[in-house]
Amino acid sequence: MCFRPAAVEIKKTCPECGAENEPTASTCEQCGAELPASAFPPAPGAPGAPSVPGKPGAPSAPGVPVMSSAPKAPGAPSAPGAPGTPEA
């Protein structure tokens, strides 16, 4: 069995007069208005292209501790040389 999609004829609709034009036309055949570049209107709610990530920043220096905002586990010993935490 072979799948053959239905033949679809796509026309550009003029934004000024509503006339249907050939997909290759750049101006309306009826009123002369400029036609959109694409015969397909933008999909509602469709996101744009994802942004391209920029150049990565310089790596941090080795041996520099990263301050964590994670809470300390109850009863866990503090790291050597770390300031003590106040008791609540």
Q: What is the pLDDT of residues 7-35, one digit of tens each?
A: 777 888 898 999 999 888 889 999 999 98
Instruction: Give the torsion through C-alpha atoms of 67, 73, 76, 82, to 10 deg.
Output: 20
DSSP letter (8 states) at residue 47: -
- pLDDT score at 12: 87
Angle among Cα 48, 23, 35 to the nearest 5 degrees reads 70
Question: Residue 78: which pLDDT band, with cuts at 50, 70 and 90?
Answer: confident
Environment class of residue 32 by beta-carbon count within 10 Å: exposed (0-12), middle (13-18) or buried (19+)?
exposed
- The predicted-structure confidence for 43-72, as pLDDT tens digits, reads as follows 666 566 566 566 677 776 676 566 666 677
